[in-house]
Structure 1
Amino acid sequence: MGGIPETGTHVLEIFRAAEGELTRRDADVLESWRRCVNQHKLDPTRHMGPRILTQQELRSHLQESEELLGMARHGMEDLYRRVNAMGYVLLLSNARGVTVDAIGDAELDRDLRHAGLIAGSEWGEQHVGTNGVGACLASGQAITVHRSDHFDVALTPLSCTAVPIHDTRGRLMGVLDLSHLQAPADKMSQALTLEVMKSCARRIEMANLVRNHREDWILRLNPSPEFLDVDPMAAVAVGGDGRITGVTHNAHDLLDQNLVGRRFDEIFAYNPEDLPVLSRALAPVEGVLEMQAGGMIFARAVPPAKAARMVAGVALPAPLQSIHGGDPAMARLAERAAKVVDRKISVILRGETGTGKEFIARAMHQSSRRRGPFVAINCAALPESLIESELFGYAPNAFTGAHARGKKGLIREAHGGTLFLDEIGDMPLGLQARLLRVLSEHEVLPVGAARAEPVDIRIISASHRDLPGLVAEGGFRQDLYYRLNGLVLDVPPVRARADLAWLIERIAGATEGKVAFTAKARQLLLAHDWPGNVREIINTCELCAALCDGVPAGPEDLPAQIAAGPVPGPAEADLQRLLDDCGGNVSEAARRAGIDRSTFYRRMQRAGRAGR
């Protein structure tokens, strides 16, 4: 029953099954066949295959499936690394049966397109008949549709193993499908594939639960203790009010009841306030929970991630908390950035060279729900001849010297994640037009390629140049500027930061060797103007670490321009007179000057004088 069928025999078997006759097919395949004939009114003598959506239709589905794509991409890439030498193609379909992501061998591209195993293919059971994606969506259950299990005889060379993916409230979001163009005839050859796929879907849902419930307790559940900490069967999230706020789908099967919104102690004979007792910190062995409906289950409680600090009503994620040590301008920047990390709003980081714009961009990416990679490119550092192929990639053998397998390009590398374009003002005008198309069409056309590839990226750009001025001069496209100019965040130079001492200490602590400074050296560091900004601090710390070998660095170990100390300028002299007028009271003088007290004090240090 596993080989490629003769058309008439295959059609006759389907009609007999639809009338209730039993065959040797698996029950889930027979149920799908019956739905196809009796409910969807499909004709098994017609060979349709999947419909391929237009690029405009696919873009619409990609936008609607943004959460699913971000949720599944990392798990897909991890799975494909394990099977890429075995002839499989991995598909991700949304709840309407449209493939929104696909990973396969580029050398099989023609065969995959012919079989419809590409992004944009529509696999709904009501259109294509019995297939992995369609039957999985219709039943909500994992399934292997192997060769002649397919309704359409044209699809019978394929073997498709599909598993459902659910959100944290138990709703079906899509299907993960692993298909083979020419699988062995025996369906049992795919039994292990089915278990691997179930495990992958379980891990994807687990990661999504942890990501979306950072402020809740996560309770890992398993019928036995062996894999509780490394690969639990299910998990539930428990909020501060003792109610279950989210689940992995297996939790419904494991506990045999609906869970979201119910009180934890309705399900388990356990007080939710005692969950810390089940954490690894307090329990050296796995805990055992008694269920209200009877039975026992092993459990491990994972405490919430560090509570997000609230700033002006906005939960400030930990990565953004870490970008400053109390500087008011940086605090405002972090607060504004936190409001847009999960919105489709492009961001421009504006500031002097070396102020840490890439560090801030990474913090925004890490604070978002986007699970794709963070990819950074300095537009000023690459020759113009290389920027195009680096950004957009190229087709196999697209030009002399091109790799025979082609190149993906940084934009496609950043799919599902964030692309950071540093010094965007230095991008050549011709490439600006191509970048604009990527942003507006959500697709990228590699150099030498005949068709564009869909892409889902978040753009954060940075520049020390005056972009509006460049637009006025004709050096930067106005339409691209408006596309990038969703939110502008001004990054202050180091000399203006009130948290300079914190910044130096943090960089010193992260330097190999963890450099320390004497009191005199620290005073000189705080008095320095830091024209090279954060990069100059990093270089100074690395130099002192190399010279001092674990001994605190003194003035003699500092770069000459820092060790010489500051030369008071007119601004410092004015502040000295203001300090004298205030009787040496720094707080009052800073208030009158309209600057932060620590900034005032540091500028006085540059002048060689400080008040009380």
Structure 2
Amino acid sequence: MGGRPNAGAHVLEVIGVAEGQNSRRDADVLASWRRCVIEHQLDPGRHTGPRIVTAQELNNHRQDSEELLGMARHGMEDLYRRVNAMGYVLLLANAHGITVDTIGDTELDREVRHAGLIAGSEWHESNVGTNGVGACLATGRPITVHRGDHFDMALTSLSCTAVPIHSAQGKLVGALDLSHLEPPQDKMSQALTLEVMKSCARRIEMANLVRCHRADWILRLNLSSEFLDVDPMAALAIGADGCIAGMTNNALALLGQKSSKALIGQRFDEIFSYDLDDLPKLSRAMAPVDGALEMQSGGFIFARSVPPTAPPRRAVEHAVPKPLRAIHDGDPAMRHLAERAARVVDRQISVILRGETGTGKEFIARAMHDSSRRRGPFVAINCAALPEALIESELFGYAPNAFTGAHARGKKGLIREANGGTLFLDEIGDMPMGLQARLLRVLSEREVLPVGATKAEPVNVRVISASHRDLAELVAQGQFRQDLYYRLNGLVLDIPPVRARTDLEWLIQNISAATEGKPCFSPQAMDLLLSYAWPGNVREIINLCELAAAMCDGASVLPIHLPAVITDRASSASLPTNGTSEDALLQFLNEYGGNVTAAARAAKIDRSTFYRRLRKSK
């Protein structure tokens, strides 16, 4: 422990530093001492402590600091739980250095008041000299002012570690200070405290950024990928206009910028060498591996994007045609997809839909077609489903009697069928290489030559292709023509898997309503459906709804009616090992007025099995 420093020695050291002498103290402390003597004209022999403002002044400061109080309180409580009963007092000061909130041990109330560590205490450097809050606000940097580092002799028994708090616009709005009443003599004892405080301030700013920018994309940043999702070093908010709308303060150092003015309002692509429209690819739903962003200034940084949690501006929503608005119910990734698709529906830009098998690529392609001004038909073909011998004639058609077995009147072919409309080529990655060259000519020349014909015919088709395979990788492997890939690769839309969608319940209900028999799922059954991973995506939901309609024939769908692959997932939590819950059996029994025979028939099991399972589940 150790007592206060000798007053005379302390005064001489402060004056010596102000006159340019060297000292072994930290540089930020020495700079503060010089400001106190030279700029603020404070007496280094003072022994007065902080001023306490009046109750009315404190009330005014608290009213002016509502935003700061709101953004910091939860973080303060979480921090204090970790240091409770260790002799610390936690202070929140506004930009004027006035303490507007405190958390401390009530058993230390007398000592805390004596040290001035209470609400209403004024810690601005110009009034009380070097201290944690004052020096932090003066520099905007974290600092530990330990014992004799303090300017005022009344404070030299304290150790004060303070970190700055910034708004989402980069403005310094306050400081968070953790003061120890009787710290060890060695300043290194507070090194861990400083790191804990930095982490707390970072989380406070991160939470505030997310709260203030719910309608924007949040880009989490880190120098490594390990802690990117749980504790990123910094974050940016990206507005709908492609500009940086908010930030945490650490983003400045991380991106090599000097002030918030260098970031706020800047276009995303002026900071990063990355397409703004590809932000969803960095989300957890779309990218299992954290992405590395190249910066315009050079170097790379790891990034994870988090989609908006609030609806976009009303004007943006109205700009999306109704068929595309109908493909989601607020899921951020699907909303972003719909907005991007809406921009090109009436342009001659080819589109690639990319996603896992069964995610609804044809449904989205049809929504794009219905959203456009094209009056021709929507024609879909699955390139993986047609035999190679037939795909050429199916796509390009053939002239009369072009080959043995050909129709005497010939065949128009799907490309010409789609004239004036949309041609959807599903699983295009499975198209044979020979036909890829012919398709490229159709897209380049806007004409098609039927098999056996000598004259090409003009066509005007919008091509939307889809694949669950990586076409770029197929190009690299020599399995897909590079020139065709570039022709198709006008806009790539990534469809999230069903398991990643936030509107899953809406999706299930919509598919159910469109299924013959319109099965209605009980709350218990829906809970199981929402916890299932849906590896087959939309296609699996469709199959499930059709099965449920057949099994229940108008009755409510209960967990007992669901496939074992779904119910087994939750068996450890709510279902017995035989796959039927007591609640489900009792629901059948109640529904049929205690008639066991009728209840067993509804559950699709015999009477004896019904009794046995009911007894086992008790």
Q: Deviations over 1:118-165 (max 9, x none)?
A: 111111100000000000001111000000000001100000000000
Where do 5+ consecutive residues of structure 2 fail to align? 318-328, 330-519, 530-551, 558-581, 595-618
* In 1, Cα distance between equivalents of 2:63 and 2:174: 14
Equivalent position to 1:274, from 272, 275, 278: 278
Residue 301 of structure 1, CA deviation:
1.0
Residue 20 of structure 1, CA deviation:
1.1
Matched with 1:144 is: 144
Contact 1:166 1:249 in 2 (8 A): yes
* Correspondences of 1:274-293 after superposition (within 5 Å): 274-293=278-297
* In 2, Cα distance between equivalents of 1:83 and 1:3: 24
Contact 1:218 1:238 in 2 (8 A): yes
Q: Deviations over 1:551-607 (max 9, x none)?
A: 3853848xxxxxxxxxxxxxxxxxxxxxxxxxxxxxxxxxxxxxxxxxxxxxxxxxx
CA separation of 1:512 and 1:259: change in aligned 2, threshold 3 A:
closer
* In 2, Cα distance between equivalents of 1:222 and 1:39: 39
**2:205 partner amino acid:** E
| 1:307 matched to 2:311 | yes
Q: Secondary structure at the match of 2:588?
A: coil
Q: Deviations over 1:214-267 (max 9, x none)?
A: 111111111111111111111101111111000000001111222110000000
* In 2, Cα distance between equivalents of 1:309 and 1:506: 34
- Equivalent pairs counted in the alignment come to 347
| 1:154 matched to 2:191 | no
Contact 1:3 1:147 in 2 (8 A): no
**1:290 partner amino acid:** E
CA separation of 1:30 and 1:510: change in aligned 2, threshold 3 A:
farther
Contact 1:520 1:554 in 2 (8 A): no
Contact 1:36 1:130 in 2 (8 A): yes
* In 2, Cα distance between equivalents of 1:62 and 1:81: 24
Q: Deviations over 1:147-200 (max 9, x none)?
A: 000000110000000000000110001000000000000000001100010010
Contact 2:142 2:198 in 1 (8 A): yes
* In 2, Cα distance between equivalents of 1:221 and 1:507: 42
* In 2, Cα distance between equivalents of 1:237 and 1:127: 37
Q: Deviations over 1:402-446 (max 9, x none)?
A: xxxxxxxxxxxxxxxxxxxxxxxxxxxxxxxxxxxxxxxxxxxxx
Matched with 1:68 is: 68
* Correspondences of 1:44-123 after superposition (within 5 Å): 44-123=44-123
Q: Secondary structure at the match of 2:228?
A: coil
* In 2, Cα distance between equivalents of 1:217 and 1:513: 31
* Correspondences of 1:172-187 after superposition (within 5 Å): 172-187=172-187
* In 2, Cα distance between equivalents of 1:119 and 1:272: 45
**1:297 partner amino acid:** I
Matched with 1:208 is: 208
Q: Secondary structure at the match of 1:141?
A: coil
CA separation of 1:98 and 1:552: change in aligned 2, threshold 3 A:
farther
**1:97 partner amino acid:** G
CA separation of 1:518 and 1:251: change in aligned 2, threshold 3 A:
same
Contact 1:520 1:555 in 2 (8 A): no
CA separation of 1:284 and 1:552: change in aligned 2, threshold 3 A:
farther
Matched with 2:12 is: 12
Matched with 1:296 is: 300
Residue 280 of structure 1, CA deviation:
1.4
Matched with 2:397 is: none
CA separation of 1:63 and 1:510: change in aligned 2, threshold 3 A:
farther
Matched with 2:243 is: 243
Contact 1:2 1:186 in 2 (8 A): no
Q: Deviations over 1:88-144 (max 9, x none)?
A: 111100000011110000000111011111111111100000000000001111000
Contact 2:168 2:208 in 1 (8 A): yes
* In 2, Cα distance between equivalents of 1:267 and 1:201: 25
Q: Deviations over 1:438-497 (max 9, x none)?
A: xxxxxxxxxxxxxxxxxxxxxxxxxxxxxxxxxxxxxxxxxxxxxxxxxxxxxxxxxxxx
* In 1, Cα distance between equivalents of 2:300 and 2:156: 45
* In 1, Cα distance between equivalents of 2:309 and 2:174: 28
Q: Secondary structure at the match of 1:549?
A: helix
CA separation of 1:509 and 1:195: change in aligned 2, threshold 3 A:
same
Matched with 2:26 is: 26
* In 2, Cα distance between equivalents of 1:30 and 1:521: 75
Matched with 2:591 is: 554
Q: Deviations over 1:292-335 (max 9, x none)?
A: 01111111111111526969x9xxxxxxxxxxx9xxxxxxxxxx
* In 2, Cα distance between equivalents of 1:510 and 1:65: 48
Contact 1:518 1:553 in 2 (8 A): no
Q: Secondary structure at the match of 2:168?
A: coil
* In 1, Cα distance between equivalents of 2:272 and 2:289: 19
**2:303 partner amino acid:** A
CA separation of 1:145 and 1:62: change in aligned 2, threshold 3 A:
same
Equivalent position to 1:262, from 263, 266, 270: 266
**Which has the higher Rg, Structure 1 or Structure 2?**
2
Contact 1:166 1:248 in 2 (8 A): yes
Contact 2:522 2:556 in 1 (8 A): no
Contact 1:289 1:297 in 2 (8 A): yes
Residue 283 of structure 1, CA deviation:
1.3
Matched with 2:338 is: none
CA separation of 1:510 and 1:196: change in aligned 2, threshold 3 A:
farther
* In 2, Cα distance between equivalents of 1:21 and 1:296: 42
* In 1, Cα distance between equivalents of 2:306 and 2:313: 20
Q: Secondary structure at the match of 2:160?
A: strand
* Correspondences of 1:318-337 after superposition (within 5 Å): none
Give TM-score scaled by structure 2 length: 0.52
Matched with 1:124 is: 124
Give TM-score scaled by structure 1 length: 0.53
Contact 2:521 2:556 in 1 (8 A): no
The alignment-based identity, stated in percent, is 67
